[in-house]
Amino acid sequence: MKYSYYPGCTLKNKAADLDLYARKCAEILGFELEEINEWQCCGGVYPLGSDEIATKLSSVRALNDAKEHGQDLVTLCSACHHVLKRVNDDMKNVSDISDRANNYLALDEPYRGETKVLHFLEVLRDVIGFDELAKKVTNPLTGKKIGAYYGCLVLRPGKILEFDDPENPKIMEDFIRALGAEPVVFPYRNECCGAYTSLKEGGISQERTKLIFDSSNGFGADMLITACPLCMYNLNKSEADSKIPVYYFTELLAEALGAKEGNS
């Protein structure tokens, strides 16, 4: 099984771990991530303005590249996943945006949202299956109590991303269970970490991450996992007393599959 793969800027740089472990694990699990040629940054934020086209074009190019390869498009970063899925929805369902983007790009064949965008976790859940994943685990993370920190971008808006129930998700908890660890459900798992405001004013993200750590720690989590480099950054910068370690979900996956030692 071969997928088109959109790593995004951060995974080529500060979040190289997220990318590296994902590729290794994919190999073990029997699928291949084929990086798209000359992909461009998705912009990190989906342009909410319904009249913006230019800011969506880089996503359309990536989506169309996957279409031309006849492959589904896999993402890892929460932001890329969010932007690509939403732009794809625009291309499929919002004729005004779709028409204008196509006019601008002048592709051989207009792109109308044909590509299926999948988050790496969705591949694990919907293609591989968590039961199958559990069978491939050689180094179960037994005894670890892990809180899944979803954040915002991977879940909302639920109707368009169709990733999981935005108010009560369970995909990452099922993932944790498949790795042999114990998921810790906490109510702040889908609450914002402060997002981009940490660049100019750290106060908001300090306040938000404290709530996240207090809640997850309070419910007994030893560590958190995330799929979002920005969440990772904000959580790491937290000065909360209740702070616990945070990992990319792929790092724990690699550990459970025995792909971490000696390679990292």
Partner 1 sequence: MTKQEIEKKVELIKEISGCDPYKCMKCGKCSGSCPSFNEMDVKPHQFASYIINGDIESLVGSQSLWKCLTCLACIERCPRNVQPGKLIDAARQLVERERGGDHLLADDIPELIDDDVPQQLLVSAYRRYRR
Partner 2 sequence: MQRIGVFVCHCGTNIAATVDVKKVVELVRFEPGVVFADDYMYMCSEAGQEKIGEAIKEHGLTGLVICSCSPRMHEKTFRACAEKAGLNPYMVEIANIREQCSWIHKDREEATEKAVILARAAIAKVNLNAPLQEGESPVTKRALVIGGGIAGIQTALDIADAGYQVDIVEREPSIGGRMSQFDKTFPTLDCASCILTPKMVEVNQHPNITLYTYSEVEGVSGYVGNFDVQIRKKARSVDMAACTGCGECQAKCPLGKSGKIPSEFDRGLRGRSAIYMPFAQAVPAVPVIDRENCTYFKTGKCGICAKICPSKAVNYEQEDEIVTVKYGAIVVATGFDIINLDKYGEYAYNESPDVITSIELERLMNASGPTGGHLERMSDHKQPKDIVFIQCVGSRCDDERGKPYCSKVCCMYTAKHAMLIKDHWPDTNITVFYIDVRTPGKNFDEFYRRAVEQYHVNYVKGQVGKVIPQPDGSLMVQAVDMLDNKQIMKKTDMVVLAAAIEPNKGVRKIATMLTASIDNNDFLTEAHAKLRPVESPTAGIFLSGMAQGPKDIPETVSQAGAAAVKVVGLLAKDKLKTNPCTAKCDPMFCNGCSTCANVCPYGAITYEDQLVRGPGVNETRRVAVVNNALCQGCGACTTSCPSGAMDLQGFSNRQITTEVDSICR
Binding stretches for partner 1 (CB under 8 A): 8-10, 12-15, 41, 43-45, 47-51, 55, 77, 79, 152, 156-158, 166-167, 191-192, 194-200, 204, 208, 228-230, 232-233, 236-237
Compute CA distances 130 → 104, 122, 179, whole Å: 42, 10, 9
Asked if 93 is part of the footprint of partner 2 (rule: CB under 8 A), the reply reads no
Residues numbered 102-161 forming contacts with partner 2, rule: CB under 8 A: 159
Asked if 27 is part of the footprint of partner 2 (rule: CB under 8 A), the reply reads no
Quote the least distance from Cβ 66 to partner 1, whole Å. Answer: 21
Closest to partner 1 by CB, 78 or 88 = 78
187 binds, among partner 1, partner 2, none (CB under 5 to 8 A by kind): partner 2
Closest to partner 1 by CB, 48 or 106 = 48
Q: Which of 185, 204, 240, 244 binds partner 2 (CB under 8 A)?
A: 185
31 binds, among partner 1, partner 2, none (CB under 5 to 8 A by kind): none
135 binds, among partner 1, partner 2, none (CB under 5 to 8 A by kind): none
Closest to partner 1 by CB, 2 or 12 = 12
- List residues near partner 2 by CB under 8 A: 159, 165-168, 185, 187-188, 215, 218-220
